[in-house]
Structure 1
Amino acid sequence: MAAEPCCVVCVASWNADLISRVARPIARGETLMASAFSISPGGKGSNAAVAAARQGARVALIARIGDDDFGRMGMDLWNAEGIATGHVECALGERSGVAQIWVYDDGDNSIAVYPGAGAGLGARHAQAAAELLAHCRVVIASCEVPVEVTLAAFRLARQANAITVLNPAPARPLPEELLALVDVLTPNESELFDLAGPGCAGSVDAAAALLMARGTRSVLVTLGAAGCRLYQRGQAPVDLAGRAMPVADTIGAGDTFTGTLAAALARGEALPGAMQWANAAAALSVTRHGAITGIPTQAEVAALLA
């Protein structure tokens, strides 16, 4: 009997997170002593895929890793989470990506990402996964992977009537063709303004309207502790308040939001309902240290919503 098709496909970035805890942001030329250090799985795409899997979705990856210990860390994680890796390429002689993360005492963070082997993802990888993309319900990507692979994957997803979700982080200029292929764009507030460009005068409403005018079907802006706001064509914005939670750190909260949103959409939730699941999952994620450790299960999110 053939395996049941995956309902969420993630065009995934992968890196190892090298996390140092420091009291505050480091000034140029300054050295601070860290109070703790850890190495853990990361990458926006990988994190979102794990979040979707923990919400009950059948998940598959399109990814590229290095032939090194960090790459093997990724494979071990995905196998443990039940994520399909048939379209993960191991690049001989290349290093996996690395993110250097500074976590501050208030829970906020700064991150520098080296994409490593992931920079070699291209349209050919999406084309090789054409059969996978033709039978899924949701395809997600971020701006940590090359735009060429996202464009190719989203074209195939649109042909299959799958929902496309793009987390535009880190923010960078996006081609009009890609924006027109996005069903749900999930920027935070600063990414929203970077994408919209000058002229929005700090207005979230105006920036979201501009992106929808450029072709994106809906914009779901994450606002941190303030919650999130959903914009859909021809409808009034929908606001969802944040949840007051004790913050351990905010690493991976946006990825948890995106992956949980994708899983909810894949099981048939409408966008406003899926947004509630994503908002609750992101709130839970900040109560624990690290990206993967912080990602909650479907049962935990259901309990919070109840």
Structure 2
Amino acid sequence: MSHPDSPAGAAEPVAITATEAPAEVVCVASWNADLVSHVARPIARGETLMASAFSISPGGKGSNAAVAAARQGARVALIARIGDDDFGRMGMTLWHAEGVATDHVEHAAGECSGVAQILVYDDGDNSIAVCPGAGSGLGASQVQAAHGVLRSCRVVMASCEVPVEATLQAFRLAREAGAITLLNPAPARPLPEELLALVDVLTPNESELYQLAGAEHSGSLDAAANHLLAGGTGAVLVTLGAAGCRLYQGRQTPIGLAGRSMPVLDTIGAGDTFTGTLAAALARGEPLASAMQWANAAAALSVTRRGAIDGIPARADVAALMSQVAR
């Protein structure tokens, strides 16, 4: 399946309606176009560095995670706000191609879609600056308008790229309906206690975990995770990059899962792939400890290709990797 790598010449978007069956995963989604430059190393303040390559591709943590869930076989719907521009049409084209329902994607007339400026370094690491554009206007009212799909799904996920008011309303409705709430707290920022108490599964990386837990807990994964659990978060699943991940649940013994040695081209979208794959596994009834194995394997595969969308694997590829490890 091909994906647009440029807004030029994008086909007219078509809304996708989930008519055959309700969505299993609903994503309160950020959307932006990724403007990616490849440079040898981080750029110093005031320095100009020549890039070896440049591309424009679909991005946004919410959109990436939604595509990841769809490629794992979940029926996915979006709640999002995009600009009435070529970048917005790029998003609609992508979601149409991936079978993601867009009934609750609002087109903001006269506004620009979000943009992420990404620098990818020779070692595969990256730095990202995001301007949310029309996505900054996503709020509780748009979420409330999607109450039907939220109350019939199994998992509701979001990231910190969308306004907290939208995530709060979505998680309130999800909690009322008995759906699992999944939050990727990236980019890191302070979150209200009410929201953290509505989160069933939190998926921070190490630095995000410490920022949420506070300076007094920095340096100890156990202390930081247990602090968040004490505040009402159901489970904390810390992603550790090449070192794998670690799951904390109440009074249970933490479960660690080792990373996999993979050839790294770039790490863009690895965390989004982890979150979306986790959501899909939970939606099909996998226990959390099993779901994190799927997410860990998918994230490992994602770094072997360039770009967020091209790096997201299909369910069959993830199953094959897990089978190889199991033998």
TM-score normalised by length of structure 1: 0.99
What pairs up with 1:41-190 in 2 under 5 angstroms? 41-190=58-207
Distance 2:177 2:251 in 1: 25
Q: Bigger CA drift: 180-189 or 2-11?
A: 2-11
Q: How many residues align?
A: 306
Question: Residue 191 of structure 1 aligns with which residue?
Answer: 208
- Please provide the CA RMSD for this pair: 0.8
Q: Distance in 2 between matches of 1:273 and 1:290?
A: 27
Partner of residue 57, structure 2: 40
Deviations 1:198-229 (A, max 9, x none): 11141010000001111101000000000000
Instruction: State the alpha-carbon separation in 1 of the partners of residues 43 and 208 from structure 2.
Output: 23
Which secondary structure does the structure 2 equivalent of 1:127 belong to?
helix
Secondary structure, counterpart of 1:280 in structure 2 = helix
* Match of residue 48 from structure 2: 31
Q: C-alpha offsets along residues 65-106 of structure 1, whole Å, 9 cap, x if unaligned? A: 000000000000000000000000000000000000000000
Match of 2:267 in 1: 250
Q: 1:222-233, aligned counterparts within 5 Å?
A: 222-233=239-250
Shift of 1:234: 1.6
Contact 2:81-2:107 at 8 Å conserved across structures: yes
Q: Distance in 1 between matches of 2:260 and 2:198?
A: 32
Aligned sequence identity (%): 80
With over 3 angstroms needed to count, the CA separation of the structure-2 counterparts of 1:97 and 1:2, relative to structure 1, is closer
Equivalents in 1 of 2:188, 2:52: separation in Å?
30
State the AA in 2 paired with 1:304: L
Counterpart for residue 289 of structure 2: 272
Query: 2:12: which partner in 1?
Result: none
Question: Residue type of the partner of 2:302?
Answer: S
| Runs of 4+ off more than 2 Å | none
Instruction: Give the alignment's TM-score, normalised by structure 2.
Output: 0.93
Structure 1 Cα separation of the partners of residues 142 and 261 of structure 2: 41
* Alpha-carbon spacing, 1:190–1:201, altered in 2? closer, same or farther (3 Å): closer
Out of 227, 237, 253, the residue aligned to residue 236 of structure 1 is: 253
Which range moved further: 198-207 or 245-254?
Answer: 198-207
Structure 2 unaligned blocks of 5 or more: 1-17
**Is 2:288 aligned against 1:285?**
no
Moved more, 122-131 or 2-11: 2-11
In structure 1, distance between residues paired with 2:218 and 2:127: 26
Specify whether residues 105 and 173 from structure 1 end up closer, same or farther in structure 2 by C-alpha distance, changes over 3 A only: same
Task: Give the partner amino acid of 2:206.
Answer: E
Q: Look up the match of 2:39.
A: 22
Which amino acid is the alignment partner of residue 87 of structure 2? F
Equivalent residues of 2:72, 2:315 under 8 A apart: yes
Structure 1 gaps of 5+ residues are none
1:2 Cα shift?
Answer: 5.2
